[in-house]
Structure 1
Amino acid sequence: MGKTIMKKDNFLYPRGRYYGQVKPENLVFNANLQEFAQRVSYVCNLETGGKLSPDEAYNQIKALWKNLKRTKKQLQIGENLFQDGDDHPES
């Protein structure tokens, strides 16, 4: 009666809550990072189960990593760390 049916996508692609500094680029990167982790997990499971060769698993994870690095650079994550002005250490 009061049960909530979990959608297939929510089960297959769970998303964790974001607790960092709320900025659009941080939220986008966090979503990309979670997707990266989920896909790496799938690739590892496929390799462990014998469905992928170790070389193919490595190549797929390497491609996922390059894509994540590219999006990090495009979003300028980690750059301009002191732009807000409130990140300076107190005396």
Structure 2
Amino acid sequence: MANSPSSDDFLYPRSSYRGKVKPENLVFNANLQEFAQRVSYICNLETAGKISPDQAYHQIKDLWKLLKHSKQELSIGEDLFDNNDNDEE
């Protein structure tokens, strides 16, 4: 089947980005989608009794720290050079 989705597409679905297209926004969006996917897995593991609520909390907290660090490194939300949000030239 040439057009069948790969297992990666099934396990790690991605939505297309529709925001302001800048490299840092695209990278952060990918990080955010990965965060959401991993949080979903952790929630499912906790719901199924495979990990404790405390383990789930700490794993999600660690993921949040990584996402926050990513945001800071990419300077998301800090329009250092672009104070005009319009695309007028």
TM-score higher than 0.5:
yes
- Aligned letter for 1:35? E
- TM-score normalised by length of structure 1: 0.88
Partner of 1:72: 71
- Counterpart secondary structure, 1:33: helix
- Aligned letter for 2:31? N
Q: Distance in 2 between matches of 1:24 and 1:5?
A: 30
Larger RCO of the pair (alpha carbons < 8 Å, separation 6+):
2
Moved over 3 A (4+): none
Q: Mark the structure with the bigger radius of gyration.
A: 1
Q: Flag structure 2 segments of 5+ consecutive residues without an equivalent.
A: none
Relative distance call for 1:49 and 1:23 in structure 2 (3 A) is same
Calculate the aligned-residue CA RMSD, in Å: 1.6
Paired residues in the alignment total: 86
- TM-score normalised by length of structure 2: 0.89
Partner of 2:45: 46
- Counterpart secondary structure, 1:20: coil
Q: Flag structure 1 segments of 5+ consecutive residues without an equivalent.
A: none
Q: Distance in 1 between matches of 2:30 and 2:5?
A: 20
Partner of 1:32: 31
- Aligned letter for 2:84? D
Q: Distance in 1 between matches of 2:82 and 2:30?
A: 23
Partner of 1:7: 6
Q: CA deviation at 1:5?
A: 1.1
